[in-house]
Amino acid sequence: MSECRAVDRTDITPALVAELLSEQFPHWADLPVRRVESDGWDNSTFRLGDTMSVRMPTGDWYSEQVEKEQRWLPVLAPQLPLPIPVPLAQGKPGRGYPWPWSVYEWIDGAPLMTHQVADLPRLAADVAGFLAALYAVDAAGGPGPGKHNFYRGGPLVVYDAETRAALDSLRGHIDTAAAADVWATALRATWHGAPVWFHGDIAPGNLLTERGRLSAVIDFGTSGVGDPSCDAVIAWTVFSGESRRVFAADLPVDEAAWARGRGWAIWKAMIVLVKALDSDLADAEECKRVIAEVIADHQRA
């Protein structure tokens, strides 16, 4: 695999964005540019005036997502029950910045913070309903699993070596025998369905809320066409108890998809935990919580 390239986030400044806009989209050159508070992991995001945003990939592995979003989000948007990002323009490399970038319509709303949501079961139903609508969109011609979305929608076996290495590293920190059983069961739960559109990263930062209700879904960088089980991960990272039961009842997938979903969840939690053990106690504890939730759910199933 070729070496990935990245840029220092501090080098992607409002001044750089303003220069690129002035050169490539002079009709927007007089609008103010300011960094958004919730910047995300994959892109640096800026507010452009009052009605637009600019997203700048921070690495070449994210830059591949620009063309995909430009091509497909306008197709998906009219068929979904909630707003999603609508691209207005695609920028080119320049001023030392090496990748394509995007201008989008601005979407109001705050990233999901579960402690501010009074009715999590209703939110779970909203998320499942959005995903059900996404899965119903015609998937013909859509992008299959690949490097552009870190192989979401494809077989979990692509991460088998990484997962087994994490299990070795986490002995004494989690119940590795139980975690290994979750993983083995997920690998056996082979997907045989028709490819559908999936989001690929249904997480709090990509779910916008207003007055406690889901109001929009953003960041389709890991979206694609294939197995939707990766969208089930939020069942263990955010939902629990009644909200998890509602989400499971409303999400239109079978039992094998839930087994694969537990595989996606435990893979991600374990690889993050390996990195967090020596550096971030809060992240480590949250990963351990998710792993325990996944194991308990697997054993009940």
Q: What is the pLDDT of residues 234-280, one digit of tens each?
A: 999 999 999 999 999 999 999 999 999 999 999 999 999 999 999 99
Say yes or no: 132 and 54 in one domain: no
In a domain, 2, yes or no: no
Q: What is the mean pLDDT of residues 134-156?
A: 97
Q: How far apart are CA 109 and CA 126, in angstroms?
A: 15
| Confidence check: pLDDT of 73 > 90 | yes
Q: How confident is the model at residue 22, as a pLDDT?
A: 98
Q: What is the mean pLDDT of the chain?
A: 95
CATH number at residue 27: 3.30.200.20
In a domain, 60, yes or no: yes
In a domain, 19, yes or no: yes
User: 55-69, 133-147, 282-296: which has the minimum mean pLDDT?
Assistant: 55-69
- On whether the CB atoms of residues 106 and 36 are closer than 8 A, the answer is no
Say yes or no: 13 and 139 in one domain: no
Say yes or no: 70 and 146 in one domain: no
What total of structural domains would you count in the chain? 2
Say yes or no: 51 and 98 in one domain: yes
Q: How far apart are CA 250 and CA 210, in angstroms?
A: 22
CB contact set of 108 (below 8 Å; sequence gap of 6+): 208, 210, 215, 216
- The distance of Cα 297 from the centroid of its chain, to the nearest Å, equals 22
| Confidence check: pLDDT of 3 > 80 | no
Where does a domain end: 57, 75, 107?
107
Nearest to 90 by CA among 110, 109, 73, 77: 73
Q: Percentage of residues in the chain with pLDDT exceeding 70?
A: 98
| Confidence check: pLDDT of 98 > 70 | yes
Q: How far apart are CA 134 and CA 127, in angstroms?
A: 11
Q: What is the mean pLDDT of residues 74-102?
A: 97
Where does a domain end: 51, 73, 107?
107
Q: How confident is the model at residue 4, as a pLDDT?
A: 59
Q: How confident is the model at residue 12, as a pLDDT?
A: 95
Nearest to 222 by CA among 86, 35, 43: 43
In a domain, 1, yes or no: no
Residue-number span of the structural domain to which 57 is assigned: 9-107
Where does a domain end: 53, 81, 107?
107
Say yes or no: 203 and 243 in one domain: yes
Say yes or no: 128 and 178 in one domain: yes
Q: Tokens at residue 189, please?
A: 């739960």
| Confidence check: pLDDT of 1 > 60 | no
The pLDDT tens digits of the residues spanning 15-32 come to 999 999 999 999 999 999
- Confidence bin at 6 (pLDDT 50/70/90): confident
In a domain, 204, yes or no: yes
Bridge pairing between strands 110-111 and 101-105:
unpaired
Q: How far apart are CA 131 and CA 181, in angstroms?
A: 28
Say yes or no: 161 and 295 in one domain: yes
User: 58-62, 123-127, 165-169: which has the minimum mean pLDDT?
Assistant: 58-62
Q: How far apart are CA 148 and CA 201, in angstroms?
A: 13
Say yes or no: 129 and 274 in one domain: yes
Q: How confident is the model at residue 37, as a pLDDT?
A: 82
In a domain, 3, yes or no: no
Say yes or no: 135 and 13 in one domain: no
In a domain, 288, yes or no: yes
CATH number at residue 131: 3.90.1200.10
Q: Tokens at residue 18, please?
A: 């303003």
Say yes or no: 120 and 42 in one domain: no
Q: How confident is the model at residue 2, as a pLDDT?
A: 42
The pLDDT tens digits of the residues spanning 33-47 come to 999 987 767 899 999
Say yes or no: 82 and 230 in one domain: no
- Confidence bin at 210 (pLDDT 50/70/90): very high
| Confidence check: pLDDT of 170 > 90 | yes
Say yes or no: 37 and 144 in one domain: no
Q: What is the mean pLDDT of residues 57-74?
A: 93
In a domain, 59, yes or no: yes
Q: What is the mean pLDDT of residues 217-232?
A: 97
Q: How confident is the model at residue 5, as a pLDDT?
A: 79
